[in-house]
Chain A
Amino acid sequence: MSGFDLAVVLGAWYDFRDLNNLSRLITEWIADWGPDWLSSIVTGLLGSLGILAVIGPTLLVLIWVERKVIARFQQRYGPNRVGPKGLLQPVADAIKLILKEQLAPRAADKLIFFLPPVLIFVPGLLIWGVLPFGPRMSVADLNVGVLFLLAVSGTGVLVLFMAGWSSNNKYALFGAMRAVAMSISYEVPMVLALLTLVVFSGTMSVNGIVEWQQQEDVIFILLFPLSAIAFFFAASAELNRTPADISEAESEIVAGYHTEYSGMRFGLFYAVELGNTLVISAFIATFFLGGWWLWGLDQWVPSWIILLAKTGAVYFLLIWTRGTLPRLRIDQLMSFCWKALVPATLIFVAVAAVERTLLVTQGWDTTIALPIMAVINIALTLGAVMLFARLARSERLRRPARTTLVRDRVGGLAAAREVASQAGGGD
């Protein structure tokens, strides 16, 4: 790495460690001759284009990755016909979707029906704006970045509702209602989980949170594991991934809010869903796994590659849960949210506040205090999880999963009673 002089490339446009350089140079060049507003607009455009240029191909690869990984879970090969190792399969799918006829139900509310596939992209793309790919590499490093993330992701649900309602289809309406109910419920534990980080690190800027982790040499998943778990589950609920994919539960309501969308309109929903999964993975990596920072490795490897690697790990975890777990029912999800996640995250907000106050007022040495707090918080998390497991396993679930084997007795009710009494005696 140090084979060439770093000082030569530092800040030059071809310094690929910081992708911001290019846009900064262009902006400075425009600022030399153009008005202010032009350079702001150009900066925005460049950022959006850069993000689009990154996530467009990434999405195509991600579709392939997801299908391939799921196929491996299911002991299949997955796509392997189009292109090398099936890599061009998503392209072929996209071409197919574009060529398909765009159907609209006759009784649909036309305008509201046509808008959602386009509008759904807006929050999906806006969220990327506050994601720091490196120390200075985010399109807009807002000082309320965390709030911005929550606000923008919250508006997506409105689009889902528009899609479901305008389709004039009962499945779609059910999907939309479920999506909305889920989304506004799971936003609460999501906010609370992020609030622990905000309270503890004392900043609402996303990059600030990463810098705090870098400064204190600790990642938040060690300090606040329960917030990480809650955020992961709430995020997978908001993303409609199993076990919380009730708003597009295939076995119940066909495809939920996008039942009536065909062709590329469906393709857009699908792409945004994948893109949201990716961006939420990236935010989980940023908030809880240190983002672009990795104990000094970011000095040697471009920061955005570190972030992508962490994102990939979280994304794999999301695929894993999807490939393994069945789906919960809506009332079960709701009671899990309100009875388990919200109280637990609320308690951890208080814990974070207390620990932060202690750190600030007592002036403790963070290198000693933080590991102790981490141990305490991990113990608390384990306790909370075990308490939940104990409480949630009701009497019904605690009964053993077993069958009684009957060898010599055949019959009806009398035999059933006999078998039951023998099985009961044998316990």
Chain B
Amino acid sequence: MTAQLDPAAAAEVVNARHENAGCVDAGVLFIEAAQLVEAVEALRDDEATDLIFLCNLTAVDRERHFELVYHLQSLDLNHILQLKVIVTDREDPAVPSLTGVFHGAHLQEREVFDLFGIRFDGHPDLRRLFLWDGFPGYPLRKDFLQMPGQVRAGLPGFPHEGEQNAWPVPGSVPQRPLHPNDPQSSGIAVSEDEPAEADA
């Protein structure tokens, strides 16, 4: 049976590498965002923790802040550790990328970036994973429907409806024509105005 690694023990390992990098609160290990890479590297390389397998990487929008959740697993010692990173900046949330420690973080970080808009500093190829460049907003945020330019099928409308560009839009809308001979087609472009009109 996979054991839960004692967060306190893990915190000791982390703090041995860097003072006050991790703390335990209500049975959960929290890591300072700035020391994340070092901390995870320590947890991976320490023989007692041996957390060499990144099971899961995701985020939770707690409305006031973002919580990044990492599940790390040791295969030989068969224990798992959940650790969290708190990001408070909602306008431009950013955490260091784990791609240097775990190659498997590559796609999962792109997914979180795509759906939450959390930037992973140091990620070699941070682009949207599922949605196209220029998709307005980040769907898994709790305030997604208040972001501009959303499709609001079946919903009556929202307080900020009609306001333009109140929210940062990642990337630009691709204006590449589909075919060189066809200047009319403009690729898969999303107009910011159309959905509101379509609803009206």
Contact = CB atoms under 8 A, between A and B. Distances in A.
Contact between chain A and chain B defined by CB under 8 Å: yes
Contacts of A106: 179, 181
B179 A414 contact: no
A325 interface: no
Nearest to A414: B76
Nearest to B74: A412
Interface in A97-127: 106
Interface of B: 50, 52-53, 74-76, 78, 179, 181
Contacts of B75: 410-413, 415
A412 B181 contact: no
A419 to B, nearest CB: 12
Contacts of A415: 75-76
Contacts of A411: 75-76, 78
A412 B179 contact: no
Given A106-B181, A411-B75, A415-B76, 15 more contacts: A106-B179, A410-B75, A410-B78, A411-B76, A411-B78, A412-B50, A412-B52, A412-B53, A412-B74, A412-B75, A412-B76, A413-B52, A413-B75, A413-B76, A414-B76
Nearest to A418: B76
A-B pairs, 9 with minimum CB distance: A412-B75, A411-B76, A412-B76, A414-B76, A411-B75, A415-B76, A412-B52, A106-B181, A410-B78
A410 B181 CA distance: 60
A326 B66 CA distance: 51
Contacts of A412: 50, 52-53, 74-76
A410 to B, nearest CB: 7
Nearest to B50: A412
19 contacts: A106-B179, A106-B181, A410-B75, A410-B78, A411-B75, A411-B76, A411-B78, A412-B50, A412-B52, A412-B53, A412-B74, A412-B75, A412-B76, A413-B52, A413-B75, A413-B76, A414-B76, A415-B75, A415-B76
A167 to B, nearest CB: 16
A409 to B, nearest CB: 10
Interface of A: 106, 410-415
A414 B47 CA distance: 12
B115 to A, nearest CB: 30
Interface centre among A106, A412, A413, A415 (most CB of B within 10 A): A412
Nearest to A410: B78
Interface centre among B76, B179, B181 (most CB of A within 10 A): B76
A410 B2 CA distance: 11
A412 B52 CA distance: 9
A106 B185 CA distance: 15
A9 B7 CA distance: 102
Contacts of B50: 412
A414 B76 CA distance: 7
B3 to A, nearest CB: 13
Contacts of A410: 75, 78
Contacts of B74: 412
B54 to A, nearest CB: 13
A411 B76 CA distance: 4
Nearest to A412: B75
A410 B77 CA distance: 9
A414 B52 CA distance: 12
Nearest to A411: B76
A267 to B, nearest CB: 28
Contacts of A414: 76
A413 B53 CA distance: 11
Nearest to A415: B76
B195 to A, nearest CB: 32
Contacts of B179: 106
A327 B76 CA distance: 40
A105 B76 CA distance: 57
A414 B74 CA distance: 11
A266 to B, nearest CB: 23
Contacts of B78: 410-411
Nearest to B73: A412
A106 B179 CA distance: 10
Contacts of B76: 411-415
A411 B52 CA distance: 11
A106 B182 CA distance: 11
Contacts of A413: 52, 75-76
B160 to A, nearest CB: 44
A381 B78 CA distance: 58
B79 to A, nearest CB: 12
A13 B5 CA distance: 95
A200 B53 CA distance: 68
A343 to B, nearest CB: 45
A5 to B, nearest CB: 74
Nearest to B2: A410
B139 to A, nearest CB: 34
Nearest to A106: B181
A412 B47 CA distance: 13
A412 B179 CA distance: 51
A411 B73 CA distance: 11
A383 to B, nearest CB: 50
A411 B179 CA distance: 53
B35 to A, nearest CB: 25
A334 to B, nearest CB: 35
A410 B74 CA distance: 11
A206 B179 CA distance: 53
A418 to B, nearest CB: 10
A415 B78 CA distance: 11
Nearest to B52: A412
